[in-house]
A and B are shown apart, each in its own frame.
Chain A
Amino acid sequence: MTETGPAGIAGKRILVVEDEMIVAMLIEDILTDLGATVVGPAARVNRAIELLSAEPVDAALLDVNLAGEVTTPVAEELRRRGIPFAFATGYGAAGVPPGFADQPLLQKPFQERDLGQVMAQVLA
């Protein structure tokens, strides 16, 4: 089942950092449906940073909390590399690491439409 996603996502390489397996699978499905290529998903900070060095990435979707591990280092690495990204969190805006309050935010749980909109915003 495919749908017409927002412009600008198709063909992009998007790093997904998410430790909840099922959620990661859904994100992967939705982004793939929208025509993007998923890098990862990475469930750990180290893995995410490895992937950033190893593969070209156009944008990223970052879960804030990976089983107690905050993904701030990944966010800093992305910023260093100039790669746009959005946070995904169940905490709302309060859950965003300090210094990244202006980043686009995907509130969990989310609908397919929400994910598309956030990523389109990131890549705009």
Chain B
Amino acid sequence: MTDADAMHRTEAESAQGAAPPWPDRDLSSITGPWPPPLRAAAALAMASPQPMWLGWGDEAACLCNPACRTILGHHPEPGRPAGEVWAAAGDLRDLLAAARRGEARTETRVLPIDRGQGPEKVAVTFALGPVLQADGTACGFLCVATLGAEAVRLPGEEADAVLRAAAARKAFLADLSDALRDLDDPAAIACAASSRLGPHLNLARCGFAEADSPGEAVVVGGDWTDGSSSVTGVHRLDSFGAFVAGALRSGRPAVVRDVATDPRLDPAHRSAYGALGVRAHVATPVLRPRGLAAVLFVHSASPRNWSEDEADLLREVAERTCAAIEAARATRALRDSEAFIRDILQASNDCIEVLDLDGQLRFMSEGGQRVKEIGDFGRLAGESWVRLWPPAARRLAEAALATARSGGVGSFRAQAPTETGSPRFWDVVISPIMDPQGRSARLLAISRDITTQRHAEAALRESEARFRNMADSAPVMIWTTDAQGRCTYVNRRWREFTGRPPAEALGLGYLSAMHPDDVPPARDMIRTGQRPERAEYRLRRADGSWAWVLDAATARHSPEGAFMGYIGSVADITDRKLAEERRALLVNELNHRVKNTLATVQSLAAQSFRLGQVDRAVRKAFEARLMSLARAHDVLTQQSWEGARLDDLARRALTPFSTDPARLSLRGPALWLPPRIVLALAMAFHELATNAAKYGALSGPDGHVDLSWEATRMAGERRLRLVWAESRGPSVEPPTRQGFGSRLIEHGLANELGGEVEIDYCASGVICRLDAPLPTEGNE
């Protein structure tokens, strides 16, 4: 094509009235304020068949003449910025700036120009010159655009198409990259890619599907369609047929030009594609080392001869989309992980600091600033870390720093106040942060506030010291065990007493100081965990002699209630034991003497009565009384003279008279009586029973004696109420004179017990009532 042709065509178009010709348009709104030279230049340009345009003002507003249509393909609105109108010529800013300064310039640009057979690349020379006013200043500029002799033509139509396709592809990819760059959501990225690709390739449907982790299925989160149905959802790879699945797995695109005729598709899959209205398609895989990562699919409603260029473009789009999604995920993961670390740093009550190798403080965690009560970290940044410690701690800090600097882990504990002056104790660990080459690059110092722990430790130490002081000054032996019965501590007294070092007592060592006969029960106790509150055993003294000891133990429990073992004290009770033994001997001796004395008295009496020819009845009564006294002593002897139970005493006293429960019943609580009362009551029972046997209930075959008692409490005093009641015996008459028995009961017993006793000679049977105070409890 020649310039002449172009001219000719422009004229022809004008003649056809395709656009309103200049100067039919009213330019007065623009030209009104124009200086005359500019107005003259505009008139000249408008009339010229050569493409020309006029620029003025700061934005280089632009007025194109009708011939500009040859280059631009249209006639732009007057007054729009030149940079915008001539955008196809590339960046004109330098050129326009020079023109505004009044300089003349010539520059050639290559522009796509469509002369009815698709766009062509044509060289266009822009010649700019200023429009000068009378004072010599520029009021605008005039540009003459020439396609003339300098016009460049590419050789051949094919090459031109290649060039255009490459440009279009480059522009598309650049646009895609721009669109994806700022997206951080994988779904949005997939959507942005398919919504650009679909119109660009004039598709029916396309989408970006990510593969699941075993690479067996793909997930279509969203697809672009020209109005066809969507295929969002999960699709098994094998559901596309062996050909497609196989290609995708091996990383090759599956290209189908016509679904209806492609022999590689089996009928089932063919009809499946048909149902979706897919006639041609390309599935482009993205492979990663772990396998299939994603598939970019494009569908066409009609058979399509996919070109190599298109296949390349799809590969590029698939790769870029996948990379953008991966980058977005990585960014998000990094952001999450950074947020995570930030949260940790903020939440941690440890003060985490980063120093450079010179020991200058570079970073302190938010949590650290909180615990160190630092108002403004900015003031501390860059300070010497060691100098931030109080003078007393600096030597330790310096040493730990040096250790970390040489690759080791330094640590120390020191006191340092917070910035606001609260005293604190810190546990500090400082270690190197390695660079990828394994050299110390920076140092990490972690300071933990252990003030509370130190106070607790100090309190515990003090408490233990107090316990030991107390335990060591105690006059008894003190020990503790753990929950398994192993000794964990013995006090000084144990050491002094046994003459053994405390270490020998630990564990089960204390058993070796015990008498061999006492060890088995002690072992049983440990085995079963059943420890009585008090235990007596023999312990070897330092001089080798055996001591009887009383060991009193109490279980120890933690504040949470867990059993922790026992604590116990051991007292020497040898003296008490000896006294007990002596007392037992004395009691035995006493028993012997009493019995022998009674035997002697009885013998004396028996022989006196023999010689004195005393009445046989008198002699028998005396002997019986003596025997009843002896039996009462028997009861006491059995209890080591500590007393006796009332029922034992009564049974023993009354046995010689009757053992038949039908004749004699005893009713009352178990009641412990001291020896004095035992003896007095024994004699009283004897007299009552003797009387009953002679004249009362026990004299006849049917009579009955009921002996009942109770212990009552009245005004804080314990009293014994006892009733001897006879029944079903012969009719009773009061005695005419008071005999020994009734005297002993009514006077002797009442006096002895400090109580009241009355005998009632009812006709139906004798009733004897006793009401006497009991000694205070304690022996019961």
Closest residue of chain A to B609, judged by CB? A1
Contact with B along A70-98 (1 / 0, CB 8 A): 00000000000000000001111000000
Q: Are B591 and A90 in contact (CB under 8 A)?
A: yes
Q: Which residues of A contact B601 (CB under 8 A)?
A: 109
**Do A108 and B606 contact each other (CB < 8 Å), given the known contacts A20-B600, A22-B600, A23-B600?**
no
Contact of B606 among A26, A65, A92 (CB under 8 A): A26
Q: Are B596 and A90 in contact (CB under 8 A)?
A: yes
Contact of A109 among B592, B613, B630 (CB under 8 A): B630
Contact with A along B578-591 (1 / 0, CB 8 A): 00000000000001
For the complex, give the distance between the alpha carbons of A27 and B599 in Å. 11
- In chain B, residues 637-685, which have Cβ atoms closer than 8 Å to a Cβ of chain A? 637
**Do A23 and B592 contact each other (CB < 8 Å), given the known contacts A29-B610, A109-B598, A109-B630?**
no
Q: Which residues of B contact A108 (CB under 8 A)?
A: 595-596, 598-599, 630
**Do A92 and B634 contact each other (CB < 8 Å), given the known contacts A22-B604, A109-B627?**
yes
Q: Are B607 and A20 in contact (CB under 8 A)?
A: no
Closest residue of chain A to B602, judged by CB? A109
B627 to chain A, nearest CB (A): 6
B655 to chain A, nearest CB (A): 13
- In chain B, residues 358-402, which have Cβ atoms closer than 8 Å to a Cβ of chain A? none
Cβ of A50 within 8 Å of any chain B Cβ, yes or no, is: no
For the complex, give the distance between the alpha carbons of A103 and B596 in Å. 20
Q: Which secondary structure dominates chain B's binding surface?
A: helix
Q: Which residues of A contact B603 (CB under 8 A)?
A: 20, 22-23, 25-27, 109
Contact of A23 among B596, B623, B630, B634 (CB under 8 A): B596
Q: Are B610 and A109 in contact (CB under 8 A)?
A: no
For the complex, give the distance between the alpha carbons of A91 and B627 in Å. 15
For the complex, give the distance between the alpha carbons of A6 and B600 in Å. 24
Cβ of B626 within 8 Å of any chain A Cβ, yes or no, is: yes
Q: Which residues of A contact B596 (CB under 8 A)?
A: 20, 23, 90, 108
A89 to chain B, nearest CB (A): 8
Q: Which residues of B contact A109 (CB under 8 A)?
A: 595, 598-599, 601-603, 626-627, 630
Cβ of A111 within 8 Å of any chain B Cβ, yes or no, is: yes
Q: Which residues of A contact B610 (CB under 8 A)?
A: 1, 29
Closest residue of chain B to A92, judged by CB? B634
For the complex, give the distance between the alpha carbons of A83 and B626 in Å. 32
For the complex, give the distance between the alpha carbons of A91 and B634 in Å. 8
B411 to chain A, nearest CB (A): 77
Closest residue of chain B to A95, judged by CB? B592
Cβ of A55 within 8 Å of any chain B Cβ, yes or no, is: no
For the complex, give the distance between the alpha carbons of A109 and B594 in Å. 10
- In chain A, residues 1-43, which have Cβ atoms closer than 8 Å to a Cβ of chain B? 1, 20, 22-23, 25-27, 29-30
Q: Are A111 and B598 in contact (CB under 8 A)?
A: no
For the complex, give the distance between the alpha carbons of A110 and B626 in Å. 9
Closest residue of chain A to B589, judged by CB? A68
Q: Which residues of B contact A90 (CB under 8 A)?
A: 591-592, 594-596, 598-599
B656 to chain A, nearest CB (A): 10
Closest residue of chain B to A19, judged by CB? B596
Q: Which residues of B contact A92 (CB under 8 A)?
A: 634, 637
Q: Which residues of A contact B634 (CB under 8 A)?
A: 92
For the complex, give the distance between the alpha carbons of A20 and B604 in Å. 11
Q: Which residues of A contact B599 (CB under 8 A)?
A: 20, 23, 90, 108-110
For the complex, give the distance between the alpha carbons of A72 and B613 in Å. 39
A107 to chain B, nearest CB (A): 8
Q: Which residues of B contact A30 (CB under 8 A)?
A: 606
Q: Which residues of B contact A65 (CB under 8 A)?
A: 592
For the complex, give the distance between the alpha carbons of A90 and B598 in Å. 9
For the complex, give the distance between the alpha carbons of A26 and B606 in Å. 7
Q: Are B602 and A91 in contact (CB under 8 A)?
A: no
Closest residue of chain A to B592, judged by CB? A90
For the complex, give the distance between the alpha carbons of A27 and B603 in Å. 8
Q: Which residues of B contact A110 (CB under 8 A)?
A: 599, 602
**Do A91 and B604 contact each other (CB < 8 Å), given the known contacts A20-B599, A109-B599?**
no
For the complex, give the distance between the alpha carbons of A25 and B599 in Å. 12
Closest residue of chain A to B634, judged by CB? A92
B interface with A by C-beta (< 8 Å) = 591-592, 594-596, 598-604, 606-607, 610, 613, 623, 626-627, 630, 634, 637
A interface with B by C-beta (< 8 Å) = 1, 20, 22-23, 25-27, 29-30, 65, 89-92, 108-112
Q: What are the nearest 3 A-B pairs in CB distance?
A: A90-B595, A26-B603, A109-B599
For this complex, 19 residue pairs linking A to B, each with C-beta atoms less than 8 Å apart, are: A20-B596, A20-B603, A22-B603, A26-B603, A65-B592, A90-B592, A90-B599, A91-B592, A108-B595, A108-B596, A108-B598, A108-B630, A109-B595, A109-B599, A109-B601, A109-B626, A109-B630, A110-B602, A111-B623
